[in-house]
Structure 1
């Protein structure tokens, strides 16, 4: 009894509903519309006592109801027909999809090619199925693959691709009872070459349908929009996604064999290249990364080019290895750019690059030349403990916020000529093995070079220090040139060591100039320098000649306990206040000093002005205050 009833209900459901559904959807609306039409006619048309007219009005109302029922019936019939056709289409698509996937598992390369093209056709004709098709193609490319000619370890357990071509042979051996033989290296290479062509086809299909064309507002009909790629751990051969547009993309642990071209590609979502390997050149020129760009621990064996690339969100290159040249010329980093502990074996080129937020190169190693010429650092620039083995060029670079080079090692020339540091410039404990070039550099905020080691020449000619310049305990092994520099705030060289010549001629010290405890082993030249405020050289040691000719001391000049081993020349120096030189000592030698021709700070003279040392004799004299009568006369 229940079985026929259940079958009847199933037939009704197969037709689109049940009896109750039909009554609710068709009969009730028709009755209501007929009643409404009849009521309206009776209200607005007065039939009087004419029974014939009343009957005609009732006929019109019923006709309206019948017509409405016909329309509803047509709509329901159309809906049922659409549903039937849609179901048939979906079944046909499912059959095509399943068949294409089965073809990808074939042991024949031609069949696998056909499966890929069948999937492409399904996706092209059915936009709602495109992501699924792309997922299948990506899954195929993620399968293990060994390149032709690659070394193949023997007796290695597990499944290794390609095995598809040997399946048929294995089935034949199993059917005949024969013992299957392992394929030869030549056979495996042949299979790998065929599989390589299939994979190139899969890559071309993806590249073809990810290109929007020249006008993104009117993309090509073949363009598949909003596609995600998951090619994690895949082996991709000479991948060319030039001009492609994709959403999220995963290339983590992926191996790129041959050229990898991503020029003008747009990633609208996050993209992951972590631990990927590029075996040859990789190009991302003018690429756009709208989401996060993660390149952590990536290995670039060939050149890596990111010229004019745009990184809208965070760009992570931590611990990445650039074996050859890495080019980021004119690249734009809108968010944080992290290259911490990265290794640049070749040249690192960031000329005219723009870093809008923090740029972090902490502990980064630059083995080749590092160029940041005319680069703009709007956020903090951190190069703490970085190593520059060859030239480091930051000439004309702009640092808007803090620039940190603490404990950085510059083995080659460090060039910062005409650079601009708007905020603090921090070079504490840095090492400059070769020349350090800061000529015409502008330090608007504090410049810290405390405990810095300058092995090569240190050139700060015509540099401008607006705020404090701190060189405390710095070591200048070669020449230190500050000629024409301007120090608007305090300049501190406490206990600094100048082994080579120290040239401060024509330098302007607007605020305090503090050289207390400094050591000048070679010549110290301050000719025509202007000290507007205090100039302290107390406990300073001048082993070579000390030249203060035509110097202007407007403020307090102190030379307490200073030692002058060579010639001390203060010819035509102007002291607006009496200088202090208590316990200052001067060594007299025949070839170094003639007291009669020497001049001392205002208010001081040698205590034995007419001493004449004998050959080989070393005589020290002290500076003593000049009596007031002599001073005023």
Structure 2
């Protein structure tokens, strides 16, 4: 048998009959049957034992007309719903295409194209709540892949000096990274999401007024950064380097600042209530008017710090806490154990970077 004849033959009748076609045909038949026979039963039920009207046919036709008008209104409502549904699907398809195009632009070698992709993702996140979480994660990975030093550890925060080439502000030396951080900083907070921004090397970054609540920034380098009015509530800033950073009016409520370096920081009016500053280096810090109630200052160094007007109600300290010269720590009221802020115990083992075996290339156990 020749296949070309089969190809030119007519399609079987089952090909032309689909489920929507059958449903529409049945609905039409049911509507026609109701319009023909139902009015008589409706009129008889309404009259009951009363005498039929003189113009019986006109009464039946009136009921039939009312039924057809109701069916017509129902058809219009169904059509309006289907049109709305089609528009929603069309918008969803356009959003998907825009999302894919923006992701592609992030890897473009042209700086202007990358900037366009970053701001396109921000626009999509504002219009599509379902994509906000994934967009935040994508931008966090974008920043981390370009600025993360995977070998940074607890000791790097106390090492003076900045990497070569970081003398210029971040907005000038890496505009795309600065734009991604800006977009992340002004996004609407998402419940339960933690931005993974650990081990970033971002000296002289302008992050004023950013909102990075619950963000993970441990072991990052933010030397000489601008964090004026930033919201870092409950952020993980373990071992972070904030030397000479501007933290005026910033909010670090219940943040984790263990082993952080804040030498020479400008932090007038900063909110450090309930923060863990164990072993933190705060030498020569400007803490005028700072709110440090219930902060943990055990083994912290505050030599040369300016605590004029600072609130130190019930802070936790020990004999290893180094206060500024002339400061009388006996004026601080002792803290009751039940009033201590909840701080989860942590070791640096969970931050360790897995070592790679030299011979077989297989990762070994965590250091």
User: Superposed, which structure 2 residues align to 1:179-328 within 5 Å?
Assistant: 196-207=174-185, 210=186, 224-227=187-190, 229-245=195-211, 247-263=213-229, 265-266=230-231, 270-285=234-249, 287=251, 289=253, 292-305=254-267, 307-309=269-271, 311=273, 314-325=274-285, 327=287
Aligned partner (choices 134, 137, 145) of residue 135 of structure 1 = 137
Q: How does 1:209-608 map to 2 (within 5 A)?
A: 210=186, 224-227=187-190, 229-245=195-211, 247-263=213-229, 265-266=230-231, 270-285=234-249, 287=251, 289=253, 292-305=254-267, 307-309=269-271, 311=273, 314-325=274-285, 327=287, 329-331=289-291, 333=293, 336-347=294-305, 349=307, 351-355=309-313, 359-366=315-322, 369=324, 390-394=325-329, 397=331, 399=333
In structure 2, the CA distance between the partners of 1:106 and 1:56, relative to structure 1 (3 Å rule), is: same
8 A contact 1:233–1:252 mirrored in 2: yes
Find out whether 1:57 has 2:59 as its counterpart.
yes
8 A contact 1:260–1:282 mirrored in 2:
yes
After superposition, the Cα gap between the structure-2 partners of 1:201 and 1:8, relative to the gap in structure 1 and judged at 3 Å, is: same
For residues 41 and 319 of structure 1, the distance between their equivalents in structure 2, rounded to whole angstroms, comes to: 93
Which structure is richer in relative contact order (CA contacts within 8 A, separation 6 or more)?
A: 2
Residue 202 of structure 2 aligns to a residue whose secondary structure is: strand
Q: Distance in 2 between matches of 1:27 and 1:362?
A: 86
Distance 1:136 1:321, change over 3 A: same
- TM score, norm. by length of structure 2: 0.65
Distance 1:110 1:44, change over 3 A: same
| Corresponding position of 2:46 | 43
Q: Give the C-alpha shift of residue 338 in structure 1.
A: 1.7
- Work out the number of aligned pairs and report it: 306
Deviations 1:244-292 (A, max 9, x none): 44553222222214323142x345x632212222243240525263xx4
Distance 2:14 2:189 in 1: 46
Q: Is the 8 A contact 1:331 1:350 kept in 2?
A: no
Normalised TM-score (structure 1): 0.41
Aligned to 2:5: none
Q: 1:123-160 deviations in whole A, cap 9, x for unaligned?
A: 3444553443333222211114389xxxxxxxxxxxxx
CA contact (8 A) 1:282 1:300 kept: no
Once the two structures are superposed, residues 326-372 of structure 1 have per-residue CA deviations (whole angstroms, 9 ceiling, x without a partner) of 52634153xx42222323344262744153xx532235431x61xxx
**Rounded Cα–Cα distance in structure 2 between residues aligned with 1:6 and 1:346:** 89
Does structure 1 retain, via aligned residues, the 8 Å contact 2:257–2:278? yes
Runs of 5+ unmatched residues, structure 1: 148-184, 211-223, 370-389, 404-633
The alignment status of 1:95 with 2:97, answered yes or no, reads: yes
Larger radius of gyration: 1
Question: Within 1, Cα distance between the matches of 2:283 and 2:14?
Answer: 73
Deviations 1:144-196 (A, max 9, x none): 4389xxxxxxxxxxxxxxxxxxxxxxxxxxxxxxxxxxxxx99xx99x99862
- Structure 1 pair 286–46 and aligned structure 2 pair: CA distance change class (3 A): farther
Query: Which structure has the highest strand share of the two?
Result: 1
CA contact (8 A) 2:283 2:304 kept: yes
